[in-house]
């Protein structure tokens, strides 16, 4: 599954780490096992109590099954976009811009499961996710949501080091007033703020950097922070 980017009103690019199809299928199977175990428990309890399969028992059985009918809607609403299967596989339903869905979004996803998964045995959901490129089945498209992975991927971006070209020329020598811990913290907060579209964090980081280094620039906060991180890497690599 490909990741994708969106641009916020503050000109901040957000990278969405879309959950892989295999991970979503794994979460679905875990949820099915839990549902199956619940049905088995109901059967065992009724059998132990000596109930015979009469019409009244079927009504009773139907009532007990209501939590299963609303399984995804209940868990996603009260577990912040996760069912138990999604929780174990570290994936979550979010709005396409990375924000938290409201109840209406969860409700739309749940209603359209009837078409996506139940009627077509998951084939429509599978095809839509593969073709969409943003991890969306029909329910997600209608609700403006997607499913992202919360698994942390280790890469050079998660370290202090950033790629800079050989001919790179630094802009702010004042960055040497910072230390490795400062820049690592700045980088982590900066990347997280970009992913979540948190403009306030970007502004606060910008203000803190100016306060510590005394840099005077008319650059946009997001551009200045990016340059500061690159400049620091440049100077430390020269040591």
Q: What is the mean pLDDT of each run of 10 residues along the chain (239 residues)?
A: 51 67 94 92 82 67 84 95 95 88 95 90 90 90 92 53 77 89 87 85 91 91 91 79
Global pTM reads 0.62
Strand (E) positions, 132-216? 145-149
Last residue of a domain, one of 149, 175, 202: 149
In this structure, the answer to whether residues 111 and 184 fall within a common structural domain is no
In this structure, the answer to whether residues 133 and 167 fall within a common structural domain is no
- By the 10 Å C-beta count (0-12 exposed, 13-18 middle, 19+ buried), 24 is classed as buried
Range of the domain at 35: 4-149
In this structure, the answer to whether residues 26 and 118 fall within a common structural domain is yes
In this structure, the answer to whether residues 129 and 188 fall within a common structural domain is no
How many structural domains is the chain composed of? 2
In this structure, the answer to whether residues 209 and 92 fall within a common structural domain is no
Interacting residues of 171 by C-beta distance below 8 A, sequence separation 6+: 217, 227, 231
Distance CA 154, CA 137 (A): 28
In this structure, the answer to whether residues 38 and 126 fall within a common structural domain is yes
In this structure, the answer to whether residues 29 and 143 fall within a common structural domain is yes
In this structure, the answer to whether residues 86 and 102 fall within a common structural domain is yes
Last residue of a domain, one of 128, 149, 170: 149
Last residue of a domain, one of 95, 126, 149: 149
């Amino acid at each position: 599954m490909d990741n994708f980017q969106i641009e916020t009103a503050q000109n901040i690019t957000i990278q969405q780490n879309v959950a892989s199809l295999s991970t979503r299928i794994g979460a679905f199977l875990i949820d099915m096992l839990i549902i199956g175990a619940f049905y088995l428990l109901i059967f065992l309890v009724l059998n132990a109590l000596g109930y015979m399969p009469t019409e009244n028992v079927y009504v009773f059985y139907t009532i007990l099954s209501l939590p299963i009918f609303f399984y995804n809607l209940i868990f996603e609403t009260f577990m912040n976009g996760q069912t138990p299967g999604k929780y174990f596989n570290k994936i979550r339903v979010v709005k396409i811009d990375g924000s938290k869905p409201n109840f209406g979004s969860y409700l739309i996803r749940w209603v359209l499961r009837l078409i996506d998964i139940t009627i077509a045995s998951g084939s429509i959901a599978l095809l839509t996710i593969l073709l969409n490129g943003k991890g969306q089945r029909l329910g997600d498209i209608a609700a403006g949501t997607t499913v992202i992975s919360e698994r942390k991927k280790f890469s050079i971006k998660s370290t202090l080091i950033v790629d800079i070209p050989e001919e790179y020329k630094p802009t702010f020598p004042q960055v040497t007033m910072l230390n490795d811990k400062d820049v690592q913290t700045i980088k982590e907060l900066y990347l997280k703020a970009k992913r979540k579209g948190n403009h306030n964090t970007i502004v606060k980081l910008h203000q803190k950097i100016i306060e510590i280094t005394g840099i005077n620039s008319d650059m946009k906060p997001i551009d200045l922070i990016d340059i500061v991180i690159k400049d620091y890497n440049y100077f430390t690599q020269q040591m």
